[in-house]
Structure 1
Amino acid sequence: MKCNTTIIQILFLFNVCLATLSPPEKKTNKGIKPQEGARKNNVLDRKLVVETPYVKDIIKYHATYHQDTALKNFKNQVLGYVTPWNSKGYDVAKTWAPKFNYISPVWLQIKRQSPNIYIISGLHDVDHAWMKSVKQKGSQSNLKILPRLLFENWQPSDLKAFFIEPTAHTEQKALIDEVKKACKQWKFDGIVLELFSQIGKYIDKSVKFIQNFGLGMNEDALKLILVYPPFRAYPSDEFFIQALNEIYPYVEAVSVMTYDFSNPQKPGPNAPLFWMRLCIEKLIDNDDNPEKRSKILLGLNFYGNSYTANGGGPIVGTEYIELLKNAKTNQALTYNNNTAENYIEVRTSQGAKKIFFPTLYSIQKRLDLAREYGTGVAIWELGQGLDYFYDLL
């Protein structure tokens, strides 16, 4: 009997040792239930704007926001883009309308159909009820709705006729008149024009057209905002730096695309702060003119990227939160001082992923940069980010 007791005790101790030496199970954040809705205090008062936030806090609080959605913390100009393929952006624009000066729904394209005949497509996406609601809620900031208008699929012959042939002036006037007509008919306050990505070698012919466009829109109390490329050390960069001096007096603002610094072929930060600063400094070109500075809208990405060994690509807030649930409990995001961005690496059923996504802290650093130089911001795009981001605006 004593022998049997000794054997049982040895077996018990052996099992205890095995249990002690077994690797602990990696706990994840999948059990955290996000809180939602309005709160009495904003994210600054709630001490959520920190350099290295915990994953569990992002998951728990990302869908909460300050109950006073009209309170502006960022006093400079703010433009927000909305796209038909991301319907949450429409709700964001309504909820936080007082924080915006301009809302730009990505609706419209313009093509040259024949000499002096221009067709605007995309008008089927126009939502008058939504526009009315947004403008009513944004009345205290005198919010304007300016749909984005893209030069789309222009043929070389169209570009040549528009920019360099003897009839170019009448062609340009026909386009401007068509845009003004659409603005009046559909009750737009103007447009955000994107043309540089489509006109190739004719960019040096575009300045006079933009000046005339701005003058023509101004005659009818309509606004023109111009989408502008960031500094990338391309040969064309010097043109854009100099052209801004000739353009800014004629436009409401320029929306600078300071995002997409990295890509799946060259994974990394979305928009390093040092690069955004360089883009501003190149554009202001040592000019202390406050009007010029105020017309620069620094692009802010509210989306991120998830990279894998095989590539990866852009992600929006809902995807980001799901990915974060794979992180370990109490894991904090890593912060890079040079880029002023956070990132995290997680293991998923599809393999390891390195994720770059804006945080409250990284957004605040960029808003501080805009304050420092007296510029505004342009957000691409509303609905892609997390609800508590809007407390900072």
Structure 2
Amino acid sequence: MKYIAALFQILIISNVCLATLSPPSDKKSQKGVKPQEGSRKNNVLDRKLVVETPYVKDILKYHATYHQETSLRNFKNTILGYVTPWNNKGYDVAKIWAPKFNYISPVWLQIKRQSPHVYIISGLHDVDHAWMKTVKQKGSVSDLKIVPRLLFENWEPADLKAFFMEPTSITEQKALIAEVKKTCKQWNFNGIVLEILSQIGKYIDKSVKFIQQFGLEMTEDNLSLIIVYPPFRGYPSDEFFIQAFNEIYPYVNAVSVMTYDFSNPQKPGPNAPLYWMKLCLEKLIGNEENPSKRSKILLGLNFYGNSYTANGGGPIVGTEYIELLKNAKANQVISYNNNTAENYIEIKTSQGAKKIFFPTLFSIQKRLELADEFGTGVAIWELGQGLPYFYDLL
């Protein structure tokens, strides 16, 4: 009977918690921790919350608080923030902290070749004009630009060949560019973030001239073009991307480098070690003291984390992280690895032990300092995944 009663209680609690990743918190371990939320007179730096090894209780207590002056910028270089339709919190973050951003990129659009010289942009049903208007009004001081991400998605081999290899490829490319520019004007976009390099396979070496032409034509209409770029991973293709960057950056507004997802469930570990992020910058910049080149780079900054178990695991966002922390002792410390400059914690749950890598104020500050040292901007994937007090650092 005791077993049945205990099982019944667990089921009730699980339903209330909407099937969170971890069991309910131990009330004894969290005694005295009362979460706070909303604006404060001082930012996290002034409140001495940016520490190398924070206590669990301090994250639980203060993560939802933030500086009341949401328009003040601590990081002076370019900031891009991605927003996804599947994470509505990102839309609210963009509205609250709009003045801190130079670009907001909603992940809305895909483009495909329908027939010769005819290109169709899908995803426009996700466009929220009221939200765009609010964000632009609040971000007017920093001249905020809305630049939706445009993905080359599921192109057929024949379409890729026609676009990059056939005698009429130049005409095909101009037709696509024209369709993008028309859409930007019709929907009041300030440009796009183009994700193409991971989608076109063996035609990757043909992409440089296309991107150069794309950038030139977008500039003619005062539209921005930002390119999503792979990080350095030790692959044979890395040398191509290093050289291609030198040919691409003069023609685009920025290059958003995906310096995250360093680890995965098959190879658990840190989300984005600082030494690796630094290596990626060094590879792209080379020995050049070129402020224009450096400023075009947006260092990828993850606001999500990963929770690993003996059987795998996967990504988690801020709300899931907070629920997991409720299983830890209030006075437990979030560990810090000097080599990777990342924080982690190990927590025991009913599903077994979990090792959690999630950004902290300290780890984010270290990465902002790296970007500042190299003269680059940052690109955050993605708004709404992190914790509210992260934005004090921007």
Query: Under TM normalisation by the shorter chain, which class is it?
Result: over 0.9
Q: Give 1:350 deviation, angstroms.
A: 1.5
- Aligned equivalent of 1:8: none
- Aligned equivalent of 1:271: 272
- Aligned partners of 2:284, 2:357: CA distance in 1, in Å? 27
The runs of at least 4 consecutive aligned structure 1 residues that moved more than 6 Å come to none
Specify the code of the residue in structure 1 equivalent to 2:186.
Q
Question: Which whole-Å deviations, capped at 9, do the CAs of 1:140-192 have from their partners, x for residues lacking one?
Answer: 10000000000000011111000011000000000000000000000000000
- Aligned equivalent of 1:222: 223
Q: Is the 8 A contact 2:41 2:68 kept in 1?
A: yes
Question: Which whole-Å deviations, capped at 9, do the CAs of 1:173-216 have from their partners, x for residues lacking one?
Answer: 00000000000000000000000111001110000000000011
For the aligned residue pairs, the C-alpha RMSD in angstroms reads 1.0
- Aligned equivalent of 2:350: 349
- Aligned partners of 1:29, 1:373: CA distance in 2, in Å? 41
Q: Give 1:29 deviation, angstroms.
A: 2.5
Question: Which whole-Å deviations, capped at 9, do the CAs of 1:211-266 have from their partners, x for residues lacking one?
Answer: 00001101110000000000001111001100111101100000000000000000
Q: Is the 8 A contact 1:30 1:326 kept in 2?
A: no
Query: Are residues 1:145 and 2:146 paired?
Result: yes
Q: Tell me the secondary structure at the aligned position of residue 198 of structure 1.
A: coil
Q: Is the 8 A contact 2:194 2:226 kept in 1?
A: yes
- Aligned partners of 1:26, 1:102: CA distance in 2, in Å? 42
- Aligned partners of 2:258, 2:349: CA distance in 1, in Å? 32
Specify the code of the residue in structure 2 equivalent to 1:327.
A
- Aligned partners of 1:206, 1:300: CA distance in 2, in Å? 25
Specify the code of the residue in structure 1 equivalent to 2:306.
N
The runs of 5 or more residues in structure 2 that have no matched partner are 1-25
When residues 326 and 31 of structure 1 are mapped into structure 2, their CA distance, relative to the original with a 3 A threshold, is: farther
The runs of 5 or more residues in structure 1 that have no matched partner are 1-24
- Aligned equivalent of 1:163: 164
When residues 26 and 177 of structure 1 are mapped into structure 2, their CA distance, relative to the original with a 3 A threshold, is: closer
Specify the code of the residue in structure 1 equivalent to 2:296.
K
- Aligned equivalent of 1:56: 57
Q: Tell me the secondary structure at the aligned position of residue 356 of structure 2.
A: strand
Paired residues in the alignment total 369
Q: Is the 8 A contact 1:29 1:324 kept in 2?
A: no
- Aligned partners of 1:30, 1:385: CA distance in 2, in Å? 25
- Aligned partners of 1:115, 1:28: CA distance in 2, in Å? 65
| Equivalence map 1:109-188=2 (5 Å) | 109-188=110-189
- Aligned equivalent of 1:258: 259
- Aligned partners of 2:269, 2:232: CA distance in 1, in Å? 18
Specify the code of the residue in structure 2 equivalent to 1:299.
G
- Aligned equivalent of 2:329: 328
- Aligned partners of 2:31, 2:241: CA distance in 1, in Å? 48
| Equivalence map 1:33-52=2 (5 Å) | 33-52=34-53
- Aligned equivalent of 2:109: 108
Q: Give 1:34 deviation, angstroms.
A: 1.2
- Aligned equivalent of 1:361: 362
- Aligned partners of 1:384, 1:26: CA distance in 2, in Å? 26
- Aligned partners of 1:39, 1:136: CA distance in 2, in Å? 23
* Larger radius of gyration between Structure 1 and Structure 2: 1
- Aligned equivalent of 2:206: 205
- Aligned partners of 1:385, 1:33: CA distance in 2, in Å? 20
- Aligned partners of 1:140, 1:74: CA distance in 2, in Å? 15
Specify the code of the residue in structure 2 equivalent to 1:279.
C
Q: Tell me the secondary structure at the aligned position of residue 200 of structure 2.
A: helix
- Aligned partners of 1:30, 1:374: CA distance in 2, in Å? 45
Q: Is the 8 A contact 1:304 1:315 kept in 2?
A: yes
- Aligned equivalent of 1:319: 320
Q: What TM-score comes out, normalization by structure 2 length?
A: 0.93
